[in-house]
Amino acid sequence: MSIYNLDRRKYIVGLVAILIVLVYMARLLALQILSDDYKKNADSNAFLKKALYPARGLITDRKGRLLVYNEPAYNLMVIMNEQHGIDTLDFCQTIGISKEQYVERMNDIKDRTKNPHYSRHTPQLFIGQIPAKQFSVFQEKLFKFKGFYVEKRAIRHYATTCAAHVLGDVGEADQIDIDSDAYYRPGDFIGKLGVERSYEKDLRGVKGIQIMLRDVKGRIKGRYQEGRFDRVPEPGRTLTLSIDKDLQALGEHLMEGKLGSIVAIEPETGEILCMVSSPTFDPHLLVGPDRGKNYQTLYKNPYKPLLNRAIMGQYPPGSTFKTSQGLTFLQEGIVNLQTAYPCYHGFHYGRLHVGCHGHASPAALTYAIQTSCNSYFCWGFYHMMQSAKKYGSVHNAMTRWKDYMVSMGFGYRLGVDLPGEKRGMIPNADYYDKHYKGGWNGLTIISDAIGQGEVSLTPLQIANLCATIANRGHYFVPHVVSHVEGKPLDTLYTRAHHTMVEPRYYNYIVEGMRRSVLGGTCKGANLPGLEICGKTGTAQNRGKDHSVFIGFAPMNEPKIAVSVYVENGGWGADYGVPLGALIIEKYLNGELSESSKARAESFAHKTIYYGTRTR
């Protein structure tokens, strides 16, 4: 029995020994062949691999005028394994920081929670984006500070203070950026907002590399194999924006002291001619070593200057939305051109009352657009929702209605080539079933008919509605980049999107909008020779109403479609109409008349913030 146990133990011990040997062999294989960790450490001792950063792509406006370009700057890098024995006080005085800041930065570099890719053998960013003038003094003494190296970079410079939300900014890549794209390493810079973000891969170019040979003491001895394995960086592509610099500047000037947005689109292409969000900020604030401090100041500003209201603001469209309702009612056969509804200072049904300003009654479609009659569109919406014979139920009618709204570009992101676009809100039947527990009808949600209630759109979507009307039933996804150097434009922006409404019905809406300018709520936009078509909106708000306007011109060969949204601006005719007319005049005529210049200055000096906290 004991002999049997000894034989068993012999085999077990042998098996364990074999397993141990196999484990060691596998580990050695992993370390020496499969893993390149040791090779990297050896290479870091023998070579210094310097990344050569490409020039970031330029950005111009639609006329080729330079908006963003590069200026030389420097990153100060440190290799911890080599950084020792320097005169810290002299270093701090030369670079212009305190001893405490030096210690704090060194600790941050070595803290793997803040710098997960830390290695004592590779260059780490100590200070980034040092302007050339500031760095020139330090460069003369660089030889004294062993372990510190210079990395030539560039910082963005802006030829204008306009279009900050469109242009965006460049900042240091965070850990998410580094983990998601192998192109970046700690200390690299990446687009953070605007086209700098959405076209990052085109703008950044391709890095090059320079390999320097070290001796056993880490001293640079020259280029490895005379630069045979070096790679020249490839510069980024130039972006041509569809933005007109002068039109953008006028829009921002008009919106000074106001909260809101102006968006202008070229209907034929979907190119955005101007995109104003107010308040705005100077893009130079987000450049250089003070970027972080300035960003925090802007972020904490109660008026939210970093918020691009043109694509992130979600507002009730007010009476501009009536154009979409008239089109839907015509296509669905709810109304025809002879259909007229009564309006005695508003829509009345039992105890329900939706007010309206005074005008002749009854009103047919084109007159209802001209005078912005609430009653007409409430009656049309009510008859559509309650048409059991046509739809079977209010649930089906609401679903059909929403399909029309979605086809017009509402309720979902349009797909503009800027980050952060919001979708707005177009309610559906399920939403109301949940909210009212099934007990609702056309009267319950009658406010949807006039762009109130649960309906909300972005200023971009409102401008796109106007462009769609100008095109008589189709639109192109709005975009701010008209050309990328060496690349065709994405087909997303060149393909026409058609609504569910036949083009012939759009002519009646256009007629009503033209009559509105000639003798209706948009009379302030009646400029000689421009054939402007317009529609006002006055969007109800907890405080003072918002002033809204859409307009396009010329009537039959449209070149520009514009939306204006001024928070707390009152009636649409108070701010929306005159500001929109000035934008149209400037674009079509190339300049403002003397009387229009005076009007522009008067509006630019009007402030209506009201201390409001916006979304």
Q: With respect to residue 13, please indicate whether it lies within any of the assigned structural domains.
A: no
Task: Kindly report the CATH number assigned to the domain that includes residue 146.
Answer: 3.90.1310.10
Ranges of residues in the chain whose predicted pLDDT is under 70:
1-10, 28, 30-48, 214-222, 225-227, 609-615
The CA distance from 242 to 247, in Å, is: 11
Residues 198, 221 within the same domain: yes
Residues 482, 421 within the same domain: yes
Task: Give residue 428's pLDDT.
Answer: 94
Q: What are the tens digits of pLDDT across the range 40-56? A: 444 555 666 777 889 99
Residues 286, 271 within the same domain: yes
Closest CA to 441 of 355, 383, 369: 383
Structure tokens belonging to residue 374: 């609430």
CA distances from 261 to 314, 327, 440, 519, 569 (A): 11, 26, 35, 26, 12
Task: Kindly report the CATH number assigned to the domain that includes residue 365.
Answer: 3.40.710.10
Task: Give residue 80's pLDDT.
Answer: 84
Task: Give residue 3's pLDDT.
Answer: 57
Residues 165, 269 within the same domain: no
Q: With respect to residue 21, please indicate whether it lies within any of the assigned structural domains.
A: no
Q: With respect to residue 147, please indicate whether it lies within any of the assigned structural domains.
A: yes
Is there a contact between 37 and 31 (Cβ–Cβ < 8 Å)? yes
Task: Give residue 615's pLDDT.
Answer: 30
Q: With respect to residue 304, please indicate whether it lies within any of the assigned structural domains.
A: no
Q: What 3-state DSSP class applies to 214?
A: strand
Residues 594, 508 within the same domain: yes
Structure tokens belonging to residue 286: 């987000």
- Give bridge partners of residue 416 from the DSSP assignment: none
Residues 349, 485 within the same domain: yes
CA 446 to the chain's CA centroid = 33
Burial status of residue 228 (CB atoms within 10 A of its CB: 0-12, 13-18, 19 or more) = exposed
Q: With respect to residue 37, please indicate whether it lies within any of the assigned structural domains.
A: no
Of 240, 255, 281, the domain-final residue: 240
The CA distance from 595 to 582, in Å, is: 11
Residues 233, 253 within the same domain: no
Residues 141, 252 within the same domain: no
Ramachandran angles phi, psi of 213, nearest 5° = -95, 135
Of 223, 240, 257, the domain-final residue: 240
The CA distance from 339 to 157, in Å, is: 59
Angle at 440 between CA 437 and CA 443, to 5 degrees: 155
Of 215, 240, 265, the domain-final residue: 240
Residues 332, 453 within the same domain: yes
Is there a contact between 237 and 57 (Cβ–Cβ < 8 Å)? yes
The domain of 221 spans: 47-240
- Taking the model in full, what pTM does it have? 0.85
Residues 232, 262 within the same domain: no
Overall number of domains in the chain:
2
Catalytic residues: 319
Q: With respect to residue 7, please indicate whether it lies within any of the assigned structural domains.
A: no
CA 77 to the chain's CA centroid = 33
Task: Give residue 43's pLDDT.
Answer: 52
Residues 494, 562 within the same domain: yes
Structure tokens belonging to residue 553: 């011109």
Q: With respect to residue 31, please indicate whether it lies within any of the assigned structural domains.
A: no
Sign of torsion, CA 88 89 92 98? Answer: positive
Task: Give residue 217's pLDDT.
Answer: 54
The CA distance from 211 to 47, in Å, is: 6
Task: Give residue 613's pLDDT.
Answer: 37
Residues 440, 483 within the same domain: yes
The CA distance from 131 to 128, in Å, is: 9
Q: What 3-state DSSP class applies to 374?
A: helix
Q: What are the tens digits of pLDDT across the range 117-161? A: 787 777 888 887 777 777 777 777 888 888 888 877 788 899 999
Q: With respect to residue 60, please indicate whether it lies within any of the assigned structural domains.
A: yes
